[in-house]
Structure 1
């Protein structure tokens, strides 16, 4: 579409563009581009024109992006959670007894995955800036599939621990890569549902993983124990899926063979509104420094640490908590299925509510309330066999908590700009997640059965802390928006700026500049951080 055609279309009020800024030459003086700009600018320059985004062509391109990316992302995350949870299913089918695990050893099989991931995060952040994300996802999936398959013959604590370490190492980059993919392909308004959709695979794993394990546990074999069959089956499926990822997962909107040239330009134009950039493959130490000094980074760390303490404990000990109510191994597996259903509903329901409200902090607070109630119920109800229904209800109320994690992912992703800074902040966030998971899984021990009081008390405290942290972070983001407002005024711009990235295409029909002009003048693809870009609007 030509520049003139774009201008004509804009007059009809059908198109959406990031708001213009006044005194653009002064803006360039404020932000001299000394390093490599975003590759999106090169693609636009090579095409000779930018493009106009309408409600119709946006919906078409978004549908194509969803159909290509989401099945792959959902499949990867389903397998990751299935493989990671396999040790909890195996615990029901004799792993603890056959491997002679005692004391904290079973807890460490859960914790070591997160401990290795914690150590790996700085390297993951650097690799994700330098390496195409599609290839990264393919080969890390192959790696953890092989690690899980190797758990089949392991029958000692040492052997299982080594395999779990490699599984954790190869899985370390998956959440960071998924957040990067979401930032790279989706507008900020669209991100909560996409983040929630792949994270909701936790709930699907609880349901179908339990059913698959139930079936595998009934297989009679003279050569394999039931838990070994579980490891072998899940590991081989993961290895096969590696080929699917390698063939079909694109590296970025700039190298997306499934989109035509004009559609690639539309995919880029959709992201202009985010003011976050797309891809540079340049590591910038200034971004690293800013990420480490940014108070938001510590809020993301604290929020993720707080939710991961309950997550680490319950994901490892959930089936054992149910078994402690007095059920046999097969009923324990079946009663774990509703836990997954509640997770699925809370995750997608929370994502939908965050999209409607255009805020994530209040949704996190809301999701904490059922979990707090569930913890209190499990702490107070007696284990005398007559309260099993109420105990299960309390356990299912706690299962609302997985909806909180993608909210924090999305909250952080939507409030960080600059490619290196985004990857470093994701690393900080995931260090908090790993540290919380390590601690959380060790707050539950087999010797605490059947009450698991220490673990449940810690979970209760963390859910209450999450409410407080969410309120504090919203107040901090409000202060940052006020600071940017003052910066815009000092540069001769309007104080108020419309955040089009949080609006549906066509909801605000006006725009103030033509596409080619905006390409040169706005900050969207200059690889600026959220601090440096006065046009960046923080979301609550």
Structure 2
């Protein structure tokens, strides 16, 4: 085949692996009996690097040290960004009982729309944000979005009425659309499939630290004297400054792909490439591929991700904006006590995902979907306590059980990371998941009707139904993955000894359906 091969992946009858200086041509036999050919433009960013280096024999001890080094250099900044992200989103809940609703003369319905408006921005910009993360350097794009996020958050403190507050929330939602997709992409770049669930649990779970930090700042402002500005305005300014600082750190610290990492030597970079071959996903390409977009929408997993994102987010949208109001009105806590009662939820956010990840590894043979189903079922029980019991203690247990669902959300993020191959397909599935997430967060605050205050019966029922549907999504994902893995194994066995795995296959940007070596992790 000539060096003027089409920019799109094409079918061909040539089964040879050929390399040309410009472009590199790579052909592979799929399990469907087709030959898929990739030119240099459409390959993974690291294919040239992978084909040019000698094969590395992995030393387990050296690899463990490398993974620890990656953990220390990458995870803390992701954890910090995730923490301030949740802290910033929940400032509305704190500010609402610190005087914001009175100062801005917000009615109950207007405050519900303040909660929902954030996710209208998120919904509008979900796909453009994912495209920008693909087209431009990943960490730089993320860092700039975080800096702008902090600026917009500070602008909340200058709002004088509902209209500018709504505008700020929409802008904040637009910038939020960059966050979770970037963390998913970073996780898939740096870690093997077997490592991704634990790391997803770390960065999703530590959003609980953001809850604790935000609650502490709000409590301190609410109880310690008088200030030149109302305490709720100071809350937005302080959290905005923290966010801007971390955005600057992200831009300067996090590399865009592992082979460009400033903190790794040449041997460590080679290890990163060799390790990631196991994922059959590579580091990503900046070329948008239409056929991968189409495949994403034909994959049943995409629908499951959408539905789960929506049903998880309906309770999440309610708790994020009405949690403190519910604790004060329904449970009868004072304003300051209601603020403090958010802290146990933050602690649960941090602890439970770690426990779930370790149980998955040691007692469930790494099958994270099984334990996630069990944890989600416990949340269903908790929602029943919140809805149908009268005792304050049991209802509070039900309220706090919501935070256990963070571990299940971690599982779904890690499923997108580990089970979606092909960079365009990955960002598409990411987008669909986040569209569902945004939709649920728009619906969530609307379930809190002012006519049902302070008990908000309708909202509580909506939470219970949402988690029941989430159980169906998790079970469906598990059985679909097992079925597709069995089908791939049967096709592989039918080819017999004639099938040979080409070197560099992991860096060809094939989708999970196209790649003959890809297997879905449970």
**TM-score scaled to structure 1, two decimals?**
0.87
Indicate yes or no: 2:318 matched with 1:336.
no
SS in 1 for 2:80: helix
For residues 412-427 of structure 1, the aligned pairs below 5 Å read 412-427=416-431
SS in 2 for 1:32: strand
Q: Distance in 2 between matches of 1:494 and 1:152?
A: 67
**2:382 matched to 1:374?**
yes
Structure 2 match to 1:393: 397
| SS, match of residue 279 in structure 2 | coil
Q: How far off is 1:212 after superposition? A: 1.8
Match of 2:482 in 1: 478
CA contact (8 A) 2:85 2:207 kept: no
Residue 407 (structure 2) pairs with residue 403 (structure 1): yes
Farther off after superposition, 372-381 or 104-113: 372-381
Provide the residue aligned with 1:231 in structure 2. Answer: 236
Residue 117 of structure 1: how far off its partner (Å): 0.8
In the TM superposition, residue 222 of structure 1 has moved relative to its aligned partner by 4.8
Aligned partner of 1:240 in structure 2 is 245
Aligned length: 491
Q: Which residues in structure 2 correspond to 1:98-137 (within 5 Å)?
A: 98-137=103-142
What is the CA-CA distance between 1:98 and the residue it aligns to? 1.1
Task: Provide closer, same or farther for how the CA distance between residues 404 and 307 of structure 1 changes in structure 2, counting only shifts above 3 A.
Answer: same
Distance 1:140 1:182 in 2: 19
> Secondary structure of the equivalent of 1:399?
helix
1:450 equivalent to 2:454? Answer yes
Match of 1:528 in 2: 510
3-state SS of 2:460 partner: helix
Q: Does 1:459 align with 2:460?
A: no
> How many angstroms apart in 2 are the aligned matches of 1:445 and 1:351?
37
Conservation of the 8 A alpha-carbon contact between 2:123 and 2:438: yes
Partner of residue 16, structure 1 = none
Task: Tell me the alpha carbon deviations over residues 307-346 of structure 1, each in whole angstroms, 9 at most, x when there is no partner.
Answer: 1111111121111111121111011111221122122222
Aligned to 2:4: none
The answer to whether 1:352 aligns with 2:358 is yes
Distance in 2 between residues matched to 1:157 and 1:80, nearest whole Å: 22
Structure 1, 216-225 or 50-59: larger mean CA deviation: 216-225
- Residue 327 of structure 2 is aligned to residue 322 of structure 1: yes
Q: Distance in 2 between matches of 1:67 and 1:303?
A: 31
- 1:288 corresponding residue in structure 2: 293
Larger relative contact order (Cα-Cα within 8 Å, sequence gap ≥ 6): 1
Q: CA deviation at 1:491?
A: 3.2
Tell me if structure 1 keeps the 8 A contact 2:153–2:240. yes
**Which residue does the alignment assign to 2:369?**
361
Distance 1:528 1:492 in 2: 22
1:156 aligns with 161
**1:379, CA displacement in angstroms?**
1.6
Given that 1:77 and 1:198 are in contact with CA atoms closer than 8 Å, whether structure 2 keeps it comes out as yes
In structure 2, the partner of 1:488 is 492
Aligned partners of 1:490, 1:441: CA distance in 2, in Å? 53
Q: Is the 8 A contact 2:97 2:335 kept in 1?
A: yes
TM score, norm. by length of structure 2:
0.90
Contact kept? 1:112, 1:165, Cα under 8 Å? yes
Distance 2:394 2:476 in 1: 34
2: CA distance between counterparts of 1:208 and 1:132? Answer: 30
Shift of 1:353: 2.6
Work out whether residues 193 and 521 of structure 2, in 8 Å CA contact, stay in contact via their aligned partners in 1: no
CA distance in 2: counterparts of 1:273 and 1:530, whole angstroms: 13
Give 1:27 shift.
4.0
- In 2, the alpha carbon distance for the partners of 1:494 and 1:317 equals 61
The alignment status of 1:37 with 2:43, answered yes or no, reads yes
Alpha-carbon distance in structure 2 between the residues aligned to 1:468 and 1:246: 40
1:81 corresponds to 2:86: yes
- Relative to structure 1, the CA distance from residue 424 to residue 534 in structure 2 (aligned partners, 3 Å threshold; closer, same or farther) is same
Q: CA deviation at 1:30?
A: 2.3
Whole-Å Cα distance in 1 between the matches of residues 344 and 473 of structure 2?
A: 29
Separation in structure 2 between the aligned mates of residue 170 and residue 236 of structure 1, nearest angstrom: 16
The question of whether the paired residues in 1 share the 8 Å contact of 2:189 and 2:257 is answered with yes
The question of whether the paired residues in 2 share the 8 Å contact of 1:39 and 1:280 is answered with yes
Q: Residue 91 of structure 1: CA displacement?
A: 0.8
For residues 422 and 203 of structure 2, the distance between their equivalents in structure 1, rounded to whole angstroms, comes to: 24
Q: Distance in 1 between matches of 2:227 and 2:467?
A: 46
2-structure distance, mates of 1:120, 1:49: 42
Does residue 302 (structure 1) correspond to residue 307 (structure 2)? The answer is yes
* Counterpart in the other structure of 1:65: 70
Please tell me whether the aligned partners of residues 311 and 402 of structure 1 are also in contact (alpha carbons under 8 angstroms).
Answer: no
Q: Determine the structure 1 residue equivalent to 2:203.
A: 198
Q: 1:389: how far off? A: 2.6
Deviation string 1:344-375 (CA, Å, 9 cap, x unpaired) is: 22222222233333122212211122222222
Distance of aligned partners of 1:478 and 1:24 in 2 relative to their CA distance in 1, 3 Å threshold: farther
Deviation at 1:493, TM superposition (A): 5.1
